[in-house]
Structure 1
Amino acid sequence: MGQQCWIILTGDKVIGDLLQKRGGKYSSRPPNYYFYQILTRSKGFINGPYNERYKMLAPIMLELLGQRAVKENSDLIDSQFCILMQNLYRASMSTDCNLYPKYYFQLASLNIITILCLAKSIKDVEDPFYKEFEIFTKSYLELIKITNRLSDFFPILRLFSGNKLYYRVIKERRIIEAFYGRLIEEVKNDSEEKPCFIRRLLHKVDEKILDELDIVYLTNDIFLAGTETVSSSLTWITAALANNPQIQYKAHQELDQIIGHSRLPSASDEPNMPYIRAIIKESQRYCGPIYLGVPHYNEEEDEYNGYHIPANSVIVLNQYGIHMDGRRYENPKEFKPERFFGITESSAVLANGNYQNRDHFGFGAGRRLCTAVHMAELELFLGISRLLWCFKIENASPLGKDGKPTPIDLEKAYVGATVWPEKYQIKFIKRHDNVENVLFG
């Protein structure tokens, strides 16, 4: 790719051998002329190099996103997914009940992060904070698309388009620093001193471990990682379920048998719900929120099976390619949860084990495995199990020649840093008479 050597990994074995077994060599991130030096000033966590600073930041991020933190905050996560179901129920009862659920999912995920980080919540999708976040996140993710990094491959392009991109990056940097700087000031000026993650980070400023610009970009990473992938996943899963009423029927049977109609599913029910678990694993394979993982980078040369891997190569985990590999997944274009029957371990556990036993590669691999994997898995379980407990999901697309709604085309997607399905329309139909009593009783 111009002056850069790119190596695309589209096989489970090579990912296991390089990113896991030789993780020390392949855990950095590629330097970027504009984005890592200007936009984040090398202060980010997700896109930062694997160095002493990363090792210092990792435990800090785990304080909020790690397995222990998820357990400690399970009641908060649970409550937000109750509110999500209430919001979807109200919306489904309106006169025009055709919905595109992305914004409701995004609000639920965002609220979890804002409460944890800021001790504040967002009322609804019309809230000015939500709208501001949604607009600038979309702009930011559009900016960091690989098509805006062509000057990294062909430096001569900086002579022609460099200034325009430079000023665009500078503008985005100012927006980020102003947005999160304002949030940090709100926490500092809170007379009640409500406990939250940013307040804990501010203590690390007092201890000279971080500075306030560190907090800005760490918070940016947390907000993006904590909202985009989960809400994208839920948006994809809902579309896949609308296309597959027979899968919904099997899930409804499991829910009625295990849960009944008197309460919502809870996190403790997950081990007893193999079909719901299989739906979630299959959705992460079939229509996950990321096609290509965040690139890895090696700073020293290596040899693998007779191939010379030059130093300073960009190593890309091709998640879509692996998930559509017919040698690993029979009939990969089919949405078939049954392929994951008998797999009881979480994706987080499987990701740290033998590559052959992994369910999917949606959370990355090696030492840069998604930090928020435990939170994401809990949110996906609560989101999907409760969505299916409350509703039957119907495709509301225009009718085709056969008189049936046209299937939602899951091949059409908006591809940025995360991948979203094209806008679609569905209906949430109340499954039984006790839904309203359980949600609002």
Structure 2
Amino acid sequence: MESSGFLAKYIGIPIVLGLAFVLWKLSHVGRRPKDLPPGPPTLPIFGNLHQVPSEKTYLQFQKWAEEYGPVYSLMMGTKPTIVLSSDIAVKELLDKRGGIYSDRPDLYISQDVASGGHRLVVMARQRYGERWRTIHRLIHNILNIKVAAKYVPYQDLENKVLLKGLLDAPGSEDLFKHLRRFTYSLSTQMIFGYRCPDFRDERLAQLFYVVNGWSEVSESASSQLADLYPILQKLPSFMLPSVRKGRHVHQVGRELYTEHWLKAKQQLKDGTGLPCICNDLLLAQQSENLSDEAVGYIVGSLLEGGSDTTSSTMYAFMLAMIVFQDVQKKAQEEIDNVVGPDRLPNVDDYSKLPYIRCCVKETLRWMPTVIMGVPHSVTKDDTYNGWKIPKGSTIINNVWGIHMDPNRSPEPRRFNPDRYIGDNTTLYESANGEPLKRDNFNFGAGRRLCQGVHIAERSLYLGMSRILWGFHLRKALDKAGNPITPDINDLVGGITVHPRQYPIDIVPKSPERTSIIRQAVKDAEELLHPETGQWKKVPEGMVFGAWKPIEKN
């Protein structure tokens, strides 16, 4: 008995000490290291995870920027996240040090489950190595400013069809559908060479199911936990609710995008296809050894980006016009003075309409669709302003926080295009210029800067200028005849956002302008097959691409 008591006494001490050590170690898990940028207090294990709201996260990130400064840190479980709410910090890190800041964090649900490892926007550079570099070079080569200019006939046609839609069905419930068909059909033409004539097209609905579904599962709590605590990825799928939805999103997306690609590929091979990005991809597929599924997701990524963000930005612009009527009036006066009442604005008018250029820039600032950017990851230890940024840290480009900084943009929730008077830079030039003068951060930064920026700027200009040329945008009236002012801060979505549906009254400016719109659409439709709505032949002035393998250094 004495012997057993002796053993219990002296064996129990190591166990107690071991437990104490484990508890001490756990108390430090999730704690912010002293050399990281400042941030909110942490809890053991969770870090700051419990403080991140599931909705309107961007508002909390903005609040923390005001409290802890333009560069602060969060501990998401054991993983440091560095939040950049400063234009200068974005320039210094994501742009100037792009060699180590252009990676993406590993995203299990978002990339592996819901994208089959193929979605370009979240593809990790280090993990996919040469494959990522090949696709990056390819996209840069086929979306540069010279190539983008050849798609103007597609942009001109779809914009005119949009105006016709606003004449025929101007109701609030159809507005977003018109805008989505416009941007989707424009994207399918540029990418695949064929149109979407009707917003009831099943493939359009499938696209936005994929876009919204991917955003939903990527933002879900179970998805974020699986990324922060990789051991959870080994759990049965029924214990991770986002896995089942993610797999279905991937299935629908893979089938949709591969179908689009194979159809365009066959048309190009048999000589019936039109100039499009797929022509360049067809030339590149053999030399770069890309599978049909991989190419399908390349074109799918382009389709998502071109369809979703541009339509959301246009929807935000029209909201701004009904709330800030003084801006609408000033913009319409400029258009009338430069263009006049007898024709639609065209691409060549852009340089003569500086206030419309300012409206494009202010819309992107006032209502950023990619509201918190797409996260970056740093590939080696770094320092900034005396703080350590550890290898593997997630880097957030806090787009909303930068855009809503009152020191950068006084009265940030006021739609004020005059902020950009005298700024004649294109969106691409601004993104690569001085950080304090950069107009917006929607298109990313550094080596992850969106290459579709040239196309987006032209589409936004044509949409805004022609709608204001042909229509007055007014507040809808309630049953008592009082104007309804929508809430400009009521945003919906996840990774990308847009204003919640709002009432609007879209009124043609005059019978004469209505006739000009209808005649312009009629002339354009002469170039289309009446049964299918597709082009009868290659639009005048357009040429097929001639992609060639480029140097890999």
TM-score normalised to structure 1 length: 0.93
Compute the RMSD of aligned alpha carbons.
Answer: 2.0
The reply on whether 1:418 has 2:493 as its aligned counterpart is no
The reply on whether 1:186 has 2:266 as its aligned counterpart is no
Q: What is aligned with 1:220?
A: 300
Q: State which of 170, 174, 177 in structure 1 corresponds to 2:254.
A: 177
Read off the aligned partner of 2:297 and give its amino acid letter: Y
Superposed CA offset, 1:96-122 (max 9, x none): x44552111111111112112222211
Q: State which of 11, 15, 20 in structure 1 corresponds to 2:86.
A: 11
Bigger mean CA deviation after superposition, 40-49 or 2-11: 40-49
Q: What is aligned with 2:30?
A: none
Q: What is aligned with 1:197?
A: 277
Superposed CA offset, 1:324-380 (max 9, x none): 101111121211111111111112101111212211212221111111111111111
Read off the aligned partner of 1:423 and give its amino acid letter: Q
1:154 & 1:3 partners in 2: Cα distance?
A: 8
Read off the aligned partner of 1:254 and give its amino acid letter: E
The reply on whether 1:262 has 2:342 as its aligned counterpart is yes
1:205 & 1:287 partners in 2: Cα distance?
A: 37
Matches within 5 A, 1:292-311: 292-311=372-391
1:68 & 1:364 partners in 2: Cα distance?
A: 21
The reply on whether 1:126 has 2:200 as its aligned counterpart is yes
The reply on whether 1:358 has 2:433 as its aligned counterpart is no
2:477 & 2:99 partners in 1: Cα distance?
A: 49
Superposed CA offset, 1:36-82 (max 9, x none): 33333433322112343333212322344321122111121111111
Report percent identity of matched pairs.
28
The reply on whether 1:22 has 2:100 as its aligned counterpart is no
Read off the aligned partner of 1:101 and give its amino acid letter: L
The reply on whether 1:115 has 2:192 as its aligned counterpart is no
2:266 & 2:174 partners in 1: Cα distance?
A: 38
Read off the aligned partner of 2:247 and give its amino acid letter: I
State the secondary structure of the residue aligned to 2:98.
coil
Read off the aligned partner of 1:304 and give its amino acid letter: Y
State the secondary structure of the residue aligned to 2:511.
coil
1:163 & 1:426 partners in 2: Cα distance?
A: 41
1:64 & 1:46 partners in 2: Cα distance?
A: 16
Q: What is aligned with 2:540?
A: none
Q: State which of 176, 179, 189 in structure 2 corresponds to 1:105.
A: 179
Read off the aligned partner of 1:26 and give its amino acid letter: Y
In the TM superposition, residue 289 of structure 1 has moved relative to its aligned partner by 1.0
Q: State which of 481, 484, 489 in structure 2 corresponds to 1:406.
A: 484
Query: Are the counterparts in 2 of residues 100 and 423 from structure 1 also a CA contact under 8 Å?
Result: no
In the TM superposition, residue 134 of structure 1 has moved relative to its aligned partner by 3.0
In the TM superposition, residue 309 of structure 1 has moved relative to its aligned partner by 0.4
State the secondary structure of the residue aligned to 2:111.
helix
CA 1:367–1:214 in 2, change beyond 3 Å: closer, same or farther? same
1:189 & 1:352 partners in 2: Cα distance?
A: 38
Read off the aligned partner of 2:342 and give its amino acid letter: S
Query: Are the counterparts in 1 of residues 114 and 214 from structure 2 also a CA contact under 8 Å?
Result: no
Matches within 5 A, 1:389-400: 389-396=469-476, 398=478
In the TM superposition, residue 233 of structure 1 has moved relative to its aligned partner by 0.3
Q: What is aligned with 1:49?
A: 124
Q: What is aligned with 2:148?
A: 70
State the secondary structure of the residue aligned to 1:234.
helix
The reply on whether 1:145 has 2:219 as its aligned counterpart is yes
Q: What is aligned with 1:372?
A: 452
CA 1:19–1:85 in 2, change beyond 3 Å: closer, same or farther? same
CA 1:114–1:416 in 2, change beyond 3 Å: closer, same or farther? same
1:437 & 1:62 partners in 2: Cα distance?
A: 41
Q: What is aligned with 2:328?
A: 248
Bigger mean CA deviation after superposition, 198-207 or 414-423: 198-207
Query: Are the counterparts in 2 of residues 43 and 214 from structure 1 also a CA contact under 8 Å?
Result: yes
Query: Are the counterparts in 1 of residues 323 and 485 from structure 2 also a CA contact under 8 Å?
Result: yes
In the TM superposition, residue 157 of structure 1 has moved relative to its aligned partner by 4.7
Q: What is aligned with 2:545?
A: none
Query: Are the counterparts in 2 of residues 2 and 153 from structure 1 also a CA contact under 8 Å?
Result: yes
Q: What is aligned with 1:329?
A: 409
The reply on whether 1:320 has 2:397 as its aligned counterpart is no
2:109 & 2:173 partners in 1: Cα distance?
A: 39
CA 1:177–1:187 in 2, change beyond 3 Å: closer, same or farther? same
Query: Are the counterparts in 1 of residues 179 and 314 from structure 2 also a CA contact under 8 Å?
Result: yes
Read off the aligned partner of 1:322 and give its amino acid letter: I
Read off the aligned partner of 1:393 and give its amino acid letter: L
Q: State which of 63, 68, 91 in structure 1 corresponds to 2:169.
A: 91
Read off the aligned partner of 2:132 and give its amino acid letter: Y
2:431 & 2:172 partners in 1: Cα distance?
A: 38
The reply on whether 1:135 has 2:206 as its aligned counterpart is no
Query: Are the counterparts in 1 of residues 260 and 296 from structure 2 also a CA contact under 8 Å?
Result: no
1:56 & 1:108 partners in 2: Cα distance?
A: 31
Bigger mean CA deviation after superposition, 424-433 or 228-237: 424-433
Any unmatched runs of 5+ in structure 2?
A: 1-75, 520-553
CA 1:306–1:63 in 2, change beyond 3 Å: closer, same or farther? closer
State the secondary structure of the residue aligned to 2:99.
coil
State the secondary structure of the residue aligned to 1:428.
strand
Q: What is aligned with 2:424?
A: 344
Bigger mean CA deviation after superposition, 301-310 or 270-279: 270-279
State the secondary structure of the residue aligned to 2:211.
helix
Query: Are the counterparts in 1 of residues 258 and 297 from structure 2 also a CA contact under 8 Å?
Result: no
Query: Are the counterparts in 1 of residues 382 and 388 from structure 2 also a CA contact under 8 Å?
Result: yes
Any unmatched runs of 5+ in structure 1?
A: none
Q: State which of 145, 149, 167 in structure 1 corresponds to 2:244.
A: 167
TM-score normalised to structure 2 length: 0.75
CA 1:292–1:146 in 2, change beyond 3 Å: closer, same or farther? farther
Q: Kindly indicate whether structure 1 or structure 2 has the higher relative contact order, using CA contacts under 8 Å at least 6 residues apart.
A: 1
State the secondary structure of the residue aligned to 2:108.
coil
